[in-house]
């Protein structure tokens, strides 16, 4: 076993060394190649062009693919796309905005944020157009059509459909399937609307669960009806009836005045070219290259502008290492807040939250760092993205102002905790576990049995303490009485528009509005130029590449394998004496428990 451990360690070390050498050589080559090209090379001062958007392309909230920076093509996040649209609105060379759209991957709140940006472009006096071969061909096109109504002209291909089909949510319940496998759960929640684990713990939807989801859909529907009515000039009742009806053909959609033109892509291209006298079209990625190059040129000037920090909280809020795309480590977020608050140039912080929550302790870590920033008289403005629920709402509480989109899912002021119980499963497999323990709580988190009475009492006490802390912080931060907090909490989710009505957010809008509020907080005109600085600072290409190769985790894995081989040697000797063939190690990890505000 020791030889195996040493071999594994050497293997990972060699892999790491090779990866570093390849990364360094590759970076040099790519950096050299990149210096000869780029989007700015095709950009001429005399050009008049239409900015072209692909609204079916993914626009994630956060760039979790740092390796793309090596190739000079950073991920087109939602905010980068919005930055490009806002820059284009003020750019005299950009004479129009054209988009293609069939099935947007964006959430309702993200659609609203993009709609706001398109509206600002329209306010500049430049035309906007969207073409679609079909919108939600098999249904489910309501939110895509809602996005399309932000444009002046909507074109639909003659063979296409307008797949309006209302709103619906389907929730699976696997409790009975788990029961067949012998798996159950120990679950405590505060309170009836905290339904995050209902899929595993119940065999049907509870009435509070149904009520909260129904209100969510009703609120979203009202928002879509308002947006469509403003674009079409139709009264809201008729729009509502059309949304609740069957999908429409292109001809029917035109007759109901839901679209403006029936035609093909080349005809739509001709129309926008005639309208704008544009000489060419430039893609969003190309124009972002122009924007990036311009910002680099202005870097010295921007350094003298007032600095506002931008910090993201995206995905699950967790303690310890988190895989890219899954969430963020609370210590990393807290450090970013600390660094921004202690930077003498930073005058305000904009915290962008797009998170369903996570660990109570991790959320509390971020909350504390934000409170310290507020105590240092640093204004904190929260911008909520598609979701800022549970722990995502918890970390927003220290803010000076909270901004949400009308469709943002927020609130969920509640706590749950659970552990799986595999006792029946082991019984079905004829596996017996024997326990030797000192103390009533030594095996409390073991998944091989349920809680004893004293363990369950302690379990519920921990959940109660977390819920009390959460609701007290809500009351103090939002200036709400305990009675009002009890009505808006209990784990219930709210849309941003409903959250505004019950006092959980301060105003509606996106990150653009949050930045405007931050400027006002520090005495600037809402349109004053600033230096918006991300914390932590964005990585250069080589650092991003090395991080994407995860060399630190490779080294950690090598050390773990080495320690594991040593610790398993006595076990393998016992199994060898018992003439049992070892097929691999049995790893006992930390208890699988989860507590989320």
The closest of 287, 257, 282 to 272, measured between CA atoms, is 282
Question: Rounded to an integer, what distance in angstroms lies between the CA atom of residue 188 and that of residue 465?
Answer: 12
* Residue 404 bridge partners (DSSP): 384, 508
- The DSSP line for 80-108 is HHHHHHHHHHH-TTEEEEEEE-SS----H
- What the block records as the tokens of 395 is 């970390």
> Hunting for tokens 């991300």 — which residue is that?
534
The closest of 141, 184, 187 to 166, measured between CA atoms, is 141
Using DSSP, state whether 310 is helix, strand or coil.
strand
Q: Where are the beta strands (DSSP E) in 376-473?
A: 380-389, 401-404, 409-411, 415-421
In tens digits, the chain (597 residues) has pLDDT values of 444 445 545 555 555 555 544 545 454 444 444 433 344 445 555 579 999 999 999 999 998 766 565 565 678 999 999 999 999 999 999 999 999 999 999 999 999 999 999 999 999 999 999 999 999 876 689 999 999 999 999 999 999 999 998 899 999 999 999 999 999 999 999 999 999 899 999 999 999 999 999 999 999 999 999 999 999 999 999 999 999 888 999 999 999 999 999 999 999 999 999 999 998 999 999 999 999 999 889 888 888 999 999 999 999 999 988 887 889 999 999 999 999 999 999 999 999 999 999 999 999 999 999 999 999 999 999 999 999 999 999 999 999 999 999 999 999 999 999 999 999 999 999 999 999 999 999 999 999 999 999 999 999 999 999 999 999 999 999 999 999 999 999 999 999 999 999 999 999 999 999 999 999 999 999 989 999 999 998 765 555 555 655 554 554 444 444 444 444 444 444 333 333 332 333 222 223 333 334
| Domains within the chain, CATH numbers bracketed | 2-32+553-596 (no CATH), 48-165+246-290 (3.90.226.10), 305-547 (3.90.226.10)
Question: Rounded to an integer, what distance in angstroms lies between the CA atom of residue 311 and that of residue 532?
Answer: 10
Residue 345: HSE in the Cβ half-sphere, 13 Å Cα cutoff = 13
Question: Rounded to an integer, what distance in angstroms lies between the CA atom of residue 16 and that of residue 22?
Answer: 10
**Is this prediction's pTM over 0.75?**
yes
| Active site members | 194, 390
The 8-class DSSP code of residue 125 comes to: T
Give yes or no for a contact between 42 and 286, defined as CB atoms under 8 angstroms apart.
yes
């Amino acid at each position: 076993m020791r030889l195996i451990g040493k071999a594994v360690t050497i293997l990972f070390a060699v892999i790491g060394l090779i990866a570093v050498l390849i990364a360094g050589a590759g970076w040099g080559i790519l950096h050299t190649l990149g210096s000869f090209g780029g989007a700015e090379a095709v950009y001429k001062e005399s050009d008049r062009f239409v900015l072209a958007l692909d609204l079916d392309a993914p626009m994630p909230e956060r760039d979790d693919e740092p390796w793309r920076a090596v190739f000079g093509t950073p991920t087109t996040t939602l905010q980068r796309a919005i930055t490009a649209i806002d820059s284009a609105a003020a750019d005299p060379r950009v004479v129009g905005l054209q988009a293609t759209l069939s099935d947007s991957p964006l959430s309702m709140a993200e659609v609203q944020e993009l709609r706001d940006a398109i509206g600002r472009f329209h306010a500049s006096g430049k035309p906007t157009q969207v073409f679609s071969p079909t919108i939600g061909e098999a249904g489910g096109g309501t939110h895509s059509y809602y996005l399309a109504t932000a444009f002046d002209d909507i074109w639909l291909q003659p063979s296409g459909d307008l797949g309006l089909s209302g709103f619906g949510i389907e929730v699976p319940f696997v409790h009975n399937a788990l029961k067949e496998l012998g798996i159950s759960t120990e679950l405590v929640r505060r309170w009836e609307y905290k339904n995050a684990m209902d899929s595993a713990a119940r065999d049907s939807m509870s009435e509070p669960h149904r009520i909260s989801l129904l209100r969510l859909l009703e609120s979203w529907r009202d928002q879509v009806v308002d947006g469509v009515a403003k674009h079409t000039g139709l009264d809201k009742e008729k729009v509502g009836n059309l949304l609740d009806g069957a999908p429409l053909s292109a001809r029917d959609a035109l007759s109901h005045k839901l679209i403006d033109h029936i035609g093909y892509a080349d005809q739509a291209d001709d129309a926008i070219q005639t309208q704008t006298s544009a000489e060419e079209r430039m893609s969003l990625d190309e124009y972002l290259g122009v924007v990036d190059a311009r910002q680099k040129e202005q870097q010295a000037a921007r350094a003298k502008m007032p600095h506002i920090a931008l910090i993201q909280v995206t995905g699950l809020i967790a303690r310890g290492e988190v895989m890219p795309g899954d969430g963020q480590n609370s210590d990393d977020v807290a450090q970013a807040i600390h660094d921004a608050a202690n930077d003498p140039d930073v005058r305000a912080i904009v915290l962008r939250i797009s998170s369903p929550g996570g660990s109570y302790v991790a959320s509390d870590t971020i909350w504390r760092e934000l409170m310290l920033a507020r105590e240092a008289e640093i204004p904190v403005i929260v911008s909520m993205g598609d979701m800022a629920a549970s722990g995502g709402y918890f970390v927003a509480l220290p803010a000076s102002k909270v901004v949400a989109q009308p469709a943002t899912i927020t609130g969920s002021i509640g706590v749950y905790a659970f552990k799986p119980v595999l006792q029946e499963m082991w019984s079905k497999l004829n596996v017996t576990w024997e326990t030797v323990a000192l103390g009533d709580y030594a095996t409390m988190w073991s998944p091989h049995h349920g809680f004893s009475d004293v363990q369950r009492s302690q379990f519920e006490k921990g959940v109660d303490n977390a819920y009390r802390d959460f609701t007290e912080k809500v009351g103090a931060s939002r200036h709400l009485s305990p009675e009002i907090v009890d009505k808006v909490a209990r784990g219930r989710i709210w849309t941003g528009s409903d959250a505004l009505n019950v006092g959980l957010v301060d105003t509606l809008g996106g990150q653009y509005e949050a930045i405007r509020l931050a400027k006002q907080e520090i005495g600037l005109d809402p349109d004053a130029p600033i230096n918006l600085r991300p914390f932590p600072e964005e990585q250069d290409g080589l650092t991003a590449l090395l991080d994407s190769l995860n060399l630190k985790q490779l080294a950690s894995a090598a050390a773990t394998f080495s320690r594991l081989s040593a610790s398993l040697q006595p076990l393998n000797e016992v199994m060898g004496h018992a003439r049992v063939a070892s097929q691999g190690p049995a790893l006992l990890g930390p208890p699988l428990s989860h507590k989320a505000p």
